[in-house]
Amino acid sequence: MLTPNVNLTGKTVLVTGAAGFVGANLVKELLNTVEKIHIVGIDNMNDYYDVSIKDYRLAEIEKLAAEKIDCKWTFVKGNIADRVLIDKLFAEYKFAVVVNLAAQAGVRYSITNPDVYIESNIIGFYNILEACRANPVEHLVYASSSSVYGSNKKIPYSTDDKVDNPVSLYAATKKSNELMAHAYSKLYNIPSTGLRFFTVYGPAGRPDMAYFGFTNKLREGKTIEIFNFGNCKRDFTYVDDIVTGVKHIMQNAPEKVTGEDGLPVPPYRVYNIGNNSPENLLDFVDILQQELIRAKVLPEDYDFEAHKKLVPMQAGDVPITYADTSALERDFGFKPNTSLKEGLRKFAEWYYEFYLKKGE
């Protein structure tokens, strides 16, 4: 087990993508558990999906921050691709820790809208790296993705595996982030840790994710399409488990060490954060429908078979994601463990409150 070497108490922390799914949940966790922390959140509030969900997440943070009188929350609406803004924030706040969760997400969207991925995931991340070089930080933590494993056949996916076969531009940008971070860690001795997230889900999640999209379609009486004729498996990871992992990692920066050549050994790590338990999509849909009925999102007599269609694989998709999380367990004694039933129950209950209860 690693001994924490970054104390977050009383520190100023930057969270990019703070109105995003993982970002907002991380901010709330830090406000709840770290004394005297000052969190600066930045998000461009783009309309890739329903902005009202981002507004809801921010409102939840504001409410919590108002109760935590010894902590401080500052929100900046802006784009990490804006170099002038990023440099200004770093110079003003002197961040101790940076968590870069801002990114254009979505595999399928990258096939039709490549520009936004280059802007946010490449240029934006470059701006963060440059700002960390000019204003040294104790630790840079950034989101990578399970999509970097691409067409790898070996499972479960290990961070020791080669990841040279991306099957989408999104995956390629995330692999690029890892390469860029490694170069900056080596050249400028910046402690950095990349996190390969595996299919994050939960309340107030992203509507472009399968569980959320399926729910919307079923409510509207539309047909849901299950790819690869139902022969897909996903390592679904509940958002609270992801956030717990991120918080552990924030407090454990890779050590700065000088090599035999007198130059820095890159203080660089990468971890998988997944559930280490892939679920078949058909089983997942079955659990989802049970929980949607239980939460009164759908009526008890809903005919699922009439609204379900098995279709071939889509471009950019992979048949299975499966995380080897042994390094996470070894270094932090932590392993995601929220069951799919428990996680989807919480999502269904939130969905009912957010979309249906108002109209009753």
* Token pair in block for residue 101: 């969760």
Is the confidence at residue 360, as pLDDT, over 70?
A: no
Average pLDDT for 221-235: 85
Q: How many CA atoms lie within 13 Å of 340's alpha carbon, on the beta-carbon side? A: 23
Beta partners for 320?
Answer: 233
Question: Which helix or strand (DSSP H or E) is residue 225 part of?
Answer: strand 224-226
Q: Please state, in angstroms and rounded to a whole number, the distance separating the CA atoms of residues 359 and 302.
A: 20
The residue among 243, 204, 237 whose CA lies nearest residue 31 is 243
pLDDT of residue 309: 87
pLDDT of residue 153: 82
Average pLDDT for 42-63: 95
Q: Please state, in angstroms and rounded to a whole number, the distance separating the CA atoms of residues 334 and 186.
A: 28
Asked if residues 96 and 138 have their Cβ atoms less than 8 Å apart, the reply is: yes
Q: How many CA atoms lie within 13 Å of 73's alpha carbon, on the beta-carbon side? A: 24
pLDDT of residue 359: 55
Tell me the pLDDT tens digit for each residue of 262-317.
888 999 999 999 988 888 888 999 999 999 999 999 999 988 888 888 888 777 66
Is residue 319 reached through a cis peptide bond, with omega within 30 degrees of 0 on the bond before it? no
User: In 34-135, where does DSSP find H-type helix?
Assistant: 51-67, 83-93, 107-112, 114-117, 125-134
Tell me the pLDDT tens digit for each residue of 78-107.
999 999 999 999 999 999 999 999 988 777
Average pLDDT for 317-332: 87
The residue among 9, 34, 74, 72 whose CA lies nearest residue 243 is 34
Per the annotation, the verdict on 170 as an active-site residue is yes
Q: Which class does domain 12-201+236-276+323-329 fall in? A: alpha beta
pLDDT of residue 264: 81
∠ CA 113-203-73, nearest 5°, is 85
Catalytic hit among 170, 201, 211, 322: 170
Residue 269: partners with Cβ closer than 8 Å, 6 or more residues away: 192, 193, 194, 254
Tell me the pLDDT tens digit for each residue of 181-218.
999 999 999 999 999 999 999 999 999 898 999 999 99
